Amino acid sequence: MPHRLLRFAFSKEHKEPAFFEQPACLKPSYDAVIIGGGGHGLAAAYYLAKDHGMTNIAVLEKGYLGGGNTGRNTTIVRSNYLTPEGVKFYDASVKLFQDLSEDLDINLFYSERGHFTLAHTESAMRTMRWRAEVNKHVGVESCVVGHEEITKACPQLDISCSGKAPIIGALYHAPGSIVRHDAVAWGYARGAKNLGVDIFQSTEVNGIDVKANKVVGVQTSRGYIATNQVLSAVAGFTPRICKMVDLPTPIIIQPLQACVTEPMKPWLDHILVSGSLHVYVSQSSRGELVMGAALDPYEMHSTRSSLEFVEGLSSHILDMFPFLSNVKIVRQWAGMADMTPDFAPIMGKTPIEGFYLDAGWGTWGFKATPISGKSMAATIANDRAPDLIHSFRLSRFEEFELTGEKGAASVGH
Amino acid sequence: MKLLDCPINGTRPISEFVFGGEFRTMPDPGQCSDKAWADYVYNRNGAPGVKMEWWLHSPSGTWFIAERNTLTDEVLRSFLPGKEVAE
Amino acid sequence: MSTRLPQQAGEWIDREQPLRFSFEGREYAAFEGDTITSALWANGEKALGRSFKYHRPRGILSFANHDINVMVTDGVDTNIRGDVVKVRDGMQLHAVNTSGGVKKDRNRYLDAISALLPVGFYYKAFHTPRQLFPFWENIVRKAAGLGIVNFSFPRITKPKLHRFCNLLVVGAGPAGMAAALAAAEAGLQVFLVDENSELGGSLGYDHAAGSESRMLLADYLHRISNQPNITVFREAYAGAYYTDHLVPVVQSSGITKVRAGSVIVASGAFEQPPVFRNNDLPGVMLGSAAQRLIRRYAIRPFEQGVVLTANTYGYRVALDLIAAGVKILAVVDLRAGGESGNLHDQVAAHGIAIHRGSCVYEAKPAADKLSVAAAVICAYDEQTNSADTRNAFEIPCDGIAMSAGWAGASGLLYQAGTKMRYDDSVQQFIPDNLPEGVFAAGKVNGVFDLQARIDDGVRAAHLALRHLGKPAQDIRAPVHTGSSPSHPYPFVPHAKGKNFVDFDEDLSLKDFSNAAQEGFNNIELMKRFTTVGMGPSQGKHSNMNAIRILAKIRGLPVDKVGTTTSRPFFHPTPIGHLAGRSFHPHRQTAMHTWHKNTGAVFTAVGAWLRPAYYQTAGRSKAENIQQEVLAVRHHAGLIDSSTLGKIEICGPDAAVFLERFYTGSFASQPAGHSRYALLLDESGVIVDDGVVARLSPELFYATTSTANAAAVFREMQRWQQIWQLDIGLVNVTGAYAAMNLAGPQAQAILSKLCPLDLCDTGFPVGAVRETQIQGMAVRIIRVAFVANLAYEIHTSASDAQPLWQAITAAGSPLGLRPFGTEAQRLLRLEMGHLIVGHDTDGLTNPYEIGAEWAIKMEKDFFIGKRSLQIIQKKALKKRLVPFMLANPVSSEMPQECNLVIAGNEIAGRITSIAVSPSCSQTIGLAFVAPELGTPGTHFRIRTDSGAMVEAVVMTIPFISAKEES
């Protein structure tokens, strides 16, 4: 039993230090302002302080820390993407994740479960092979497996999917993991705070002042901040922030829904994704099945739930696991996904000097939290985007140089 | 399931409709700059608010324009392109 | 020992129908109508389950599905909620989540070491050293979860119904029943939904020892059953509220999706547990739970006990308990002022000690720790929320009834978008601003007096009438008078803790103050850190208390703390119910039966089923495919290509439309000819290809790929809406069938069937003819996709099978065989043709596949042209080339999507590869870097295993006409 728990048992007082302490008020100026207190924004703040020694930083969060998509995703971390640029980027993220519990001294329950992307058709199998080959080339552990291997790993799965969409094989990605998502934001927040970053919750940005195409300040519900560097890391709110500086982007917002069952004793060890059936599922450390499906089919800036989502998902999950008929869904919820035309993020500098974008995270943002934070911190500190995120630049659209991750995201997750 | 008004077929559940994206006016391809064209092709008015959108009533093949608030998901009106009633 | 009472008026059990069941291996008697919990309680069993985290014994708390203390398995199903699921004869039940049974759960040691496991402990331990985490994780995972899933549980498909009504009333308590009756009498079609098996809500059990409620209920039930406009859904819960008044009503038989004109939420309130040490011991229960036991199931909740209260309701509970023969030893009222008035006097008249300004400091367990044995009572200071134990005394008892307040069952109201506010007069969140067509009545609306609830129901009915455009009265909302039904802060701190707030998650008072101290002092952060309200009862008995605690810690009014977001479902809802019957439709072509009878092995292409190949006796799949290929190359083959998209474009502007839509030129196309049609999107990416045949000056017939048929037609319709040309568009994909007759004998076969001049000059490649075959009208296009000589024959779907048989009959003597998609893929590869979507991806532009010839840049406009003008200026990044393996494959055949490697870099990818029986080579198509694209260039392919295979760039077609014969 780790000694830390013994300390709890034998101390009369709860001496744990606070994760977050909010300063009484804003400073009049900061070297950089990060809009968005989700995983990405907090990670950027942490790495700015840790890697670049920039600590005069404010993180502004409209609601509460990690309350956006950081706390609404299905907690899957993986790097089995399609383009070499994407695979390298997410692989760097996975590597940071593997060390993150120790780095932040918080148990994130980073749990390597192995990730199967199921293929029900020959054409899906081709895509799996494409991804596997690119992954291997970049040094990421992925391979194409036949249905026998899937059955061996997950004997409960009905490999014929009730005869409706038999599984032929899968892309197996051993490093695929699940994480306690909220804790990622909390760990980064505490880490950043301990290094001197100011974090403000319930603080809304009302405007960004730009003079001569240069950022000069931020108007907030707590007052004005003079600053020359602003990072927008607000996922579903990106178009609103970009509108403040008249920056057009291709981003549109579509809800992404998920749901969770009541807890049951663990039986599903792996993470399973089916593009054809629009399902992804894993079992959390609490014993709940955490499940999601494809994006909602139209643009909307809200987190309402829909019945058709949970009906469709239920039907498909039963095709895979018919014995779940009487298992109950406890709760459904939604996040706002900031989608891009090529299913790749938009990161780096913008035509406005001092305005940096960390956006376009669609359904793939949580798994990129550490590396996006690190990359954006480097971008702000050096006013230059690192090579790792070059292909995610905003200008790729007007350059007709799209990145092409669309093929990897057969189902959002 | 949400309900949507098709200008031809009346109120129908949203499952009968296909979202066609924001209604945009194409710049003159012969006159506009490459940058303006790229802006038309890729960029979207992604901020929440009342927008004109393409919707298809799939069973009947009716494309129409709906004016919808993307924040509240309220549809203010829907009409066939070019058949917009003067306000 | 049985605690069953004599027959109670309106009881829910049928004493004529006794039954037997077992729990944890012991046999018990019960009556039809008993729930699992009531049956066990009637038999004197109190420890009915073990808690999630500390494995503490648990009994009845709410007895209303607002907690999950009693979760059992019958060996087949699991996580069965004992409080509300009826017991059946012969059931063999066990509690879930125990090791060795409820009474002797070996995991009960966790309770003793709970100090080691404070809130959020798992964030603080086990992660260093990293290598040991999997060890700890394994232990944590094993401890997680409740029931064990039965992997052989059958798939249950429940039907779904769609129903419509003017008004949906959720909850059939006094407010709901009054609302339903008022609306129905005014002519509305009303659905009245209640989760219980009998209507009436609290009228059925909250009697304060009187009979008025019972009489009133009888009157309501009579009126409702005689009101034809009311449809009652019993044992049915409104699962959620979705946009535009869609409410799934969930019953054990399935879900009814109700679309209502308006909704009245009269869902009542959840009684909330006051928080003191050991408030979870079996025997400690909510007052309303005790009342339900008495009136519904005729069970004396306990023999002698204490009522802990902080409102008027506790005195009603006391009177009901007394009437049931319970010896009430004390009424303990948290309020310094206590209660005054009639109810107080009635309780006092029984000679019961009433301790105002007092609390239950703790409940003491019996020796076996499985139930309550005593209540420790002492003074309580409402101002400081502290207990003064100096004069504490102990009352031995086997039960404590708790009534200190309520939380509105507001889930549906939140989901509908209601703005709520905290009302100090009732110490409860109540609706402030309701969305259109949604109304609230009764306790959920902060109305507690019985007559006021009835009036509130009628008021809501009139609001619904007005919303629906019917005549309605203005009825003023009742105003709450008197003491608050809820105590603002019913918490008794205790140094030793175990004063539970969330029973699902084993969270006690200290967990919340610790969480706040660690910075989780926002209600949402607190929820996520402590997991309050995240268990299966979704905070029904815990969220309100959590909010009160946080408000106190932060020194804020409750209103400022706010609530967490309410999400579907009201009660957890089975996946099988939500899934329904699960349709997976397929489309079959007109010749499907023939294919089936001829041994076709089908493959799904989108929704369509197509023959992949035809199985013949004694041959393997590969041999069959090879035979089909050879037949087409040397004799003839026939493939069903009905799944192609087929669209007619007619009218004076038809050619203008096609010129704009596709990249090619159609204005100059003569009638009787067909042309390749390439479709781009506005960014210049290839979307689809097909053939456009001009049948007459104003009639074109276009084909699309199978996969894109619907999408291409949709785009045509959309652009037509923009362009407003003088054309008509008809999608004849399903109305027409098509078949492709290919191979050197194709001409000979066709000539037997139709009078057309089929010679190369009379019917050259690309020509289209309309004629008849055996009286059936056909359109024939000479194509060269799978073979140099091939005819695509289109006819109406109704004629397709006879036509197919006619061609087969004519062709068989000449060696004709049917062939499937597998052979087709190989045949087209031999011809050097790509398949859009197979050899292209979501970003491929025409230059990358060498389709410059199909792009008429001199046209004023076509979709994607302006983007191509930009792309044209950029250096080409990759190019699709035909290739052949340089050497015969000795071991591992490269696969499609294996990579082309140059140096150490990715230089492309194989999109198609196959062994060609006709040229006895392995041929394919690959994207390669432009510098590798010249014919004769060698490049290397890396196989799955990592081996390198040499390939050489070729020219197409791979086969020449002379190889066909």
A200, two tokens:
């403000």
Structural domain of B3: 1-25+49-87
Other Cβ atoms less than 10 A from the Cβ of C945: the count is 7
Q: What is the pLDDT of residue C122?
A: 82
CA atoms within 13 A on the CB side of B50: 6
A103: contact with C, CB 8 A cutoff: no
Amino acid at C572: P
In a domain, B31, yes or no: no
C100, two tokens:
């060795």
Cα separation, C612 vs A121, in Å, equals 13
**Closest alpha carbon within chain C to A261:** C572
Q: Which residues on B lie below 8 Å from A240 (Cβ)?
A: 47-48
Q: Which residues on B lie below 8 Å from A255 (Cβ)?
A: none
**Closest alpha carbon within chain A to C497:** A12
DSSP string of C32-54, one letter each residue = ET-BHHHHHHHTT----EE-TTT
Contact yes or no for B29 and C731 at CB 8 A = no
Cα(first)–Cα(last) distance of chain C, in Å? 95
Q: What is the pLDDT of residue B19?
A: 96
Cα separation, C239 vs C569, in Å, equals 5
**Closest alpha carbon within chain B to A308:** B1
Mutation choice for B interface testing from C866, C870, C871, C874 by most B CBs within 10 A? C866
Judge whether C193 and C256 are in contact, CB under 8 Å.
no
Using CA atoms, how far residue C840 sits from C198, C467, C603, C909, C952, in Å, is 63, 55, 21, 11, 20
Longest dimension (CA), chain C: 116
Judge whether C419 and C433 are in contact, CB under 8 Å.
yes
Q: Closest by alpha carbon to A46, among A382, A376, A358?
A: A376
Q: Which residues on C lie below 8 Å from A265 (Cβ)?
A: 142, 144-149
Residue from the list C573, C580, C604 with its beta carbon closest to the beta carbon of A329 = C573
Average pLDDT, chain A: 94
The domain tally of chain B equals: 1
Q: What is the pLDDT of residue C132?
A: 83
Helix (H) or strand (E) segment spanning residue A386: none
pLDDT tens digits along A285-336: 899 999 998 899 999 999 999 999 999 999 999 999 999 999 999 999 999 9
Judge whether C309 and C483 are in contact, CB under 8 Å.
no
Q: What is the pLDDT of residue A406?
A: 74
In a domain, B43, yes or no: no
Cα separation, C504 vs A297, in Å, equals 36
Distance from CA of C916 to the nearest CA of B (A): 42
Cα separation, C147 vs A266, in Å, equals 10
Q: Can you tell me whether residue A338 is helix, strand or coil?
A: strand
Q: Can you tell me whether residue C796 is helix, strand or coil?
A: strand
Strands (E), C382-481: 386-396, 399-403, 406-408, 419-423, 428-433, 438-440
Residue B16 belongs to domain with CATH number: 3.30.2270.10
In a domain, B71, yes or no: yes
CA atoms within 13 A on the CB side of C666: 32
Q: What is the pLDDT of residue A139?
A: 97
Chunked in runs of 10, what are the mean pLDDT values of chain C (965 residues)?
Answer: 86 97 98 98 97 95 97 94 97 95 92 82 83 84 86 93 98 98 98 97 95 95 98 98 97 97 98 98 98 98 98 98 98 97 97 98 97 98 95 98 98 96 97 97 98 98 98 94 96 96 96 93 94 94 97 95 90 96 90 98 92 95 95 97 98 98 96 97 96 97 96 97 96 97 97 92 95 96 95 98 97 97 96 94 95 97 98 96 91 94 96 91 96 96 95 90 63
Amino acid at C364: K
The yes-or-no verdict on residue A13 having pLDDT over 90 is: no
Cα separation, A216 vs A212, in Å, equals 9
C845, two tokens:
């532009």
Contact yes or no for C567 and A332 at CB 8 A = yes
Among all chains, which residue has been given the structure tokens 């071991």?
C891
Judge whether C304 and C375 are in contact, CB under 8 Å.
no
pLDDT tens digits along A206-240: 999 999 999 999 999 999 999 999 999 999 999 99
Q: What is the pLDDT of residue A411?
A: 38
A214: contact with B, CB 8 A cutoff: no
Q: Closest by alpha carbon to A59, among A373, A289, A392, A402?
A: A373
Q: What is the pLDDT of residue C1?
A: 52
Beta bridge partners of C701: C648, C693
Q: Which residues on A lie below 8 Å from B52 (Cβ)?
A: none
Q: Which long-range contacts (CB under 8 A, 24 or more apart) does C16-22 make?
A: C19/C87, C19/C88, C19/C89, C19/C90, C20/C89, C20/C90, C21/C87, C21/C88, C21/C89, C21/C90, C21/C91, C21/C92, C21/C93, C22/C91, C22/C92, C22/C93
Cα separation, A297 vs A278, in Å, equals 13
In a domain, B40, yes or no: no
Among all chains, which residue has been given the structure tokens 């002492």?
C378
Q: What is the pLDDT of residue C609?
A: 95
pLDDT tens digits along A363-388: 999 999 999 999 999 999 999 999 99
Under the banding of pLDDT at 50, 70 and 90, the label for residue A9 is low
Supply the Cα-derived Rg of chain A in whole angstroms.
21
The yes-or-no verdict on residue B86 having pLDDT over 70 is: no
In a domain, B4, yes or no: yes
Using CA atoms, how far residue C604 sits from C376, C607, C610, C613, C836, in Å, is 71, 6, 6, 12, 17
A106, two tokens:
């918080």
Its ipTM equals: 0.96
Residue from the list B39, B44, B48 with its beta carbon closest to the beta carbon of A301 = B48
Under the banding of pLDDT at 50, 70 and 90, the label for residue B87 is very low
C600, two tokens:
């076709």
Distance from CA of C277 to the nearest CA of A (A): 17
Contact yes or no for A249 and B70 at CB 8 A = no
CATH fold of the domain at A112-177+252-339: D-Amino Acid Oxidase; Chain A, domain 2 (3.30.9)
Cα separation, B71 vs A292, in Å, equals 23
pLDDT tens digits along A240-297: 999 999 999 999 999 999 999 999 999 999 999 998 888 999 999 899 999 998 899 9
A195, two tokens:
């290094």
Query: Is domain A27-72+182-250+342-408 in CATH 3.50.50.60, yes or no?
Result: yes
Judge whether A245 and A252 are in contact, CB under 8 Å.
no
Judge whether A120 and A166 are in contact, CB under 8 Å.
yes
B47, two tokens:
């901020």
Q: What is the pLDDT of residue C139?
A: 82
In whole angstroms, what separates CA C561 from the centre of its chain? Answer: 31
Higher pLDDT, C941 or A163: C941
A347, two tokens:
């990161």
Q: Exposed, middle or buried by CB within 10 Å (0-12, 13-18, 19+), for C676? A: middle
Q: What is the pLDDT of residue C960?
A: 73
Q: What are the boundaries of each domain within chain A?
A: 27-72+182-250+342-408, 112-177+252-339
Percent of chain A with pLDDT over 90: 89
Q: What is the pLDDT of residue A163?
A: 87
Q: What is the pLDDT of residue C825?
A: 95
In a domain, B44, yes or no: no
Cα separation, C562 vs A139, in Å, equals 49
Q: Provide the whole-model pTM.
A: 0.95
Strands (E), C296-385: 304-309, 327-333, 353-356, 358-365, 372-381
Supply the Cα-derived Rg of chain B in whole angstroms.
14
Give, as one character, the DSSP assignment of residue C850: T
